[in-house]
Chains A and B, each alone.
Chain A
Amino acid sequence: MTDNWLLNDAGEPIVDAVLSSFMFSLSMDERGRSADDEGSSAEDVFLDRLGVPVFQTVTTMRSRSRYESSDTGVMGFELALSVALPEFDGNVITHPISGKERTDDEAGIGSAPKHHFPIEDRIDHATRLAVNWAELRHTPNEDKQVAVVLHNYPPSDDGIGTAFGLDSPESTVNLLEELAARGYDLGDEMPEDGQTLVEKLTAQLTLEDRWVAPEDVRDLSVDVVSPDTYADWFSETDGRFQENIIEEWGDVPDRPFAIPGVEFGNVLVTVQPPRGSA
């Protein structure tokens, strides 16, 4: 199917992204039947030939109301078939887009059939995500803007970039070099190693700088978010999410807040926002 419908004569994909609600793993059968122990055929899976992001949507077998009220969005065998196995293919797992509920027995056959009902806002979200990924394919690398977010909890400077098993400052520098090699705009002052990167980060505003004078914040931070901008962003989020936030944290603040980090051309290296501190 990939070769007939999704690739052109030159073997290039004619789609930019795929949304699939197919359960199980699409590639496992192919790998199983034709793969040797270490043979190359194990790698030559049709999804690799397609070469575009594949997003997994879940047509859950629970009702929509049970989905919305449950702590686990996907559970039971659906977790295995609609999340774990597609992930084996390398799919980007999104979320349920529909629920299965009984309808009325309109045909009078003595049994009420079950029907899939779409969850509008989830379908909207999945499609917007797929479109954004698709647009990235057509954005020239020098125009792409990237934010690299490093872990920083608890928010002290010596904890910037904590990551299990990973030298994240060096990894970030490797990532920046790889991006530069592929034509991303990294500006003129790329850090040469992890240590330099950390020094640049801590020389700017970090999460530890509670006592920075307000007039200095603007100079030391990458940008400042005004209360109006924040209020706009907040108003565009899901209503239930807004209610939860307001209940927990109060109304939208009337003070601006600063973004820490360092910019290298179109690439921002920053730290995660602090959790739950005023």
Chain B
Amino acid sequence: MVHLGTHGSLEWLPGKTVGLNGESAPDQLVDDVPNVYPYIVNNPGEGPRPSAVPTPRSSTT
């Protein structure tokens, strides 16, 4: 799965902000599907946040 650009469909869902457990919605929705999330990183305030869902983060500038 590729979520192209901010913001993905997995953000701002119920659950923990980082280090998701099984109750957190993004964890249950994507589960163990490899997910890649490329986005522009020089978005002040939002770019460098840690991603809640495990994803290799290609941060293009």
Contact across chains for A238 and B54 when beta carbons are under 8 A apart:
no
A94 to B3, CA, bound (A): 17
A246 at the interface (CB under 8 A from B): no
**A273→B10 CA distance, assembly (Å):** 10
Q: How extensive is the interface on chain B, given as a class?
A: 35 or more
| Overall SS of chain A's interface | mixed
A171 to B3, CA, bound (A): 12
In contact, B56 and A92 (Cβ under 8 angstroms): yes
A95 partner residues in chain B, CB cutoff 8 A = 19-21, 27, 54
Are the C-beta atoms of A79 and B40 separated by less than 8 Å?
Answer: no
A67 cross-chain contacts in B, Cβ below 8 A: 19, 21
A-B contact count (CB 8 A): 138
Contact with A along B19-53 (1 / 0, CB 8 A): 11111110110011110001110110010001100
Contact residues in B for A240 (Cβ distance below 8 Å):
22-23
Cross-chain contact A70 with B16 (CB below 8 angstroms): yes
Mask: chain A, 82-111; 1 = CB below 8 Å from B; 0 = not: 011001001011111000000000000000
* B32 partner residues in chain A, CB cutoff 8 A: 125, 128-129, 131-132
* Cα A273 to Cα B14 with chains together (Å): 16
Q: Does A60 contact B (CB under 8 A)?
A: yes
Contact assessment for A146 and B2 in the assembled complex, using a CB-CB cutoff below 8 Å: yes
